[in-house]
Amino acid sequence: MGTAEISKTAAKTYEIRTHGCQMNVHDSERLSGLMEEAGYAKAPSGADADVVVFNTCAVREKADNHLYGNLGQLASVKAVKPGMQIAVGGCLAQKDRETIVKKAPWVDVVFGTHNIGHLPALLERARVQEEAQVEILESLEVFPSTLPTRRESAYAAWVSISVGCNNTCTFCIVPALRGKEKDRRTGDILAEVQALVAEGVVEVTLLGQNVNAYGQDIGDRAAFGKLLRACGEVEGLERVRFTSPHPKDFTDDVIAAMAETPNVMHQLHMPLQSGSDSVLRAMKRSYRQERYLGIIEKVRAAMPDAAISTDIIVGFPGETEEDFQQTMHVVREARFAQAFTFQYSKRPGTPAAEMAGQIPKEVVQERYLRLVALQEEISWEENKKQVGRILEVLVAEGEGRKDQHTDRLSGRAPDSRLVHFTKPVEGVRPGDVVTVEISYAAPHHLLAEGAPLAVRRTRAGDAWEKRQAEPAKPAGVMLGLPSLGVPAPLPVADAPSCR
């Protein structure tokens, strides 16, 4: 049954609850688009939706407990709300399959990472047949970007260039759940970018599990650098970013493309995971400390102003104090603008979960605190170097949680640093660009206390304003990660990264 065959239920509402990585955020925008195309409307804040969709993550050790706790809370709601439906998708659904319905028989639909386009049809089938529908495909049916979408942002967008992963990191379950890497055709990517720009988008973030491995599936290992340069030819596209690259695939041609393409931002998120060669070997990360620091050195030589961030796992099985000190050494040498630090926790189904030498929780915690303290010090020192600089800030929506109390606005500098600035006298909208002078630095943000030096109204601001003026529509996906625009730094967490 296709979407066109589904009964149009305009009065019915939906809510999507998203957990996990940027890929899940992107998938949730597609799920939202599919639901709206099928006639559903976004549920008002605080209201019980007719359909609740969980887009799950299998990264955290206790992800299933979190899901079943949420499902348990909805059981009583569903009992007194006739016709309510609950769907579970994403990585945990791909992994657990029929287990979900056995543990929570009030769930109506379980769907996987490869068939998100089937959700409306599965909901309709469950309603008609009055029984749970479980549909998990083993390979991608259609590339997600071909599906309808309801983007959260009027001025910035994710653009998926690949799905899946060919690596075998021992701490990561993603390849088993999302499959082998499948690259999208370059022409299709650029067509989507151009269409987004025509709608008013001024910033895109190219998205892939290992984004710079792009081209291996289509037989061109230089394809990613070429794609960055091609994005530079798209008129009206002001900022291009990408996440997340893998050090083993990071080549000199990509560094050159970043340095030589004006609209590719001098910002790089490069997962380290560990600075110890022995731990990297146990992780099956196919690079070593020297290789990693060599990439950082080349990036800084080509782009001295580059802001580099990373992911680090503390307490991987077998990690010694000496191994941990090697990680601390890389942090001191690389001087990351930001590090997303994770305490290792077992991921069911990964080789690392069965490894000998599991580190006691108290040891992991103590190392973690030392790493966080070091990185906080470095982040603050690096941010202090920004004081006195004149920066162009892309005004964001929802980035500054205290803006309404401080009479300030917030946005992202070209290198993705968060900037809070004094609200200008003239009107400014999300998507517009302000020029400011940085007057103060904190570890995680910059502050421009003086009046903005200039305000540039943009097509993106026009698009945001047009969206606000439209008749009431569904407000978008309730996401568990930062809103679209420049992906904001993730909070320090207690589970490892999947990149």
- Contact (CB, 8 A) for 56 and 21: no
Cβ-proximal residues to 398 (8 Å cutoff; 6+ apart), any chain: 483
Chain centroid to CA 165: 16
Q: Which of 144-158, 288-302, 325-339 has the lowest mean pLDDT?
A: 144-158
Q: Which of 251-255, 256-260, 430-434, 469-473 has the lowest mean pLDDT?
A: 469-473
Find, among 368, 480, 476, 376, the residue nearest to 59 by Cα: 480
Cβ-proximal residues to 27 (8 Å cutoff; 6+ apart), any chain: 55, 89, 90, 113, 116, 144
As a whole number of angstroms, the distance between CA 473 and CA 430 comes to 19
Q: What's the predicted TM-score (pTM) here?
A: 0.79
Asked if pLDDT for residue 491 goes beyond 60, the answer is no
Asked if pLDDT for residue 288 goes beyond 70, the answer is yes
Asked if pLDDT for residue 160 goes beyond 80, the answer is yes
Q: Which of 20-34, 109-123, 149-163, 209-223 has the lowest mean pLDDT?
A: 20-34
- Contact (CB, 8 A) for 269 and 257: no
More confident residue, 277 or 345: 277
**pLDDT score recorded for residue 499:** 63
10-48 pLDDT per residue, tens: 458 999 998 877 777 778 888 888 888 888 888 888 788
**372-397: average pLDDT:** 97
- Contact (CB, 8 A) for 231 and 201: no
More confident residue, 213 or 26: 213
At 407, is the pLDDT very low, low, confident or very high (cuts 50, 70, 90)?
confident
As a whole number of angstroms, the distance between CA 443 and CA 150 comes to 34
89-134 pLDDT per residue, tens: 888 888 887 888 899 999 999 988 878 888 888 999 898 888 999 9
Chain centroid to CA 366: 28
Both tokens of residue 54?
Answer: 């969980």
Both tokens of residue 466?
Answer: 């047009």
At 454, is the pLDDT very low, low, confident or very high (cuts 50, 70, 90)?
very high
- Contact (CB, 8 A) for 436 and 430: no
Asked if pLDDT for residue 490 goes beyond 60, the answer is no
**194-214: average pLDDT:** 94
**pLDDT score recorded for residue 188:** 92
Q: Which of 17-21, 86-90, 317-321 has the lowest mean pLDDT?
A: 17-21
**pLDDT score recorded for residue 473:** 45
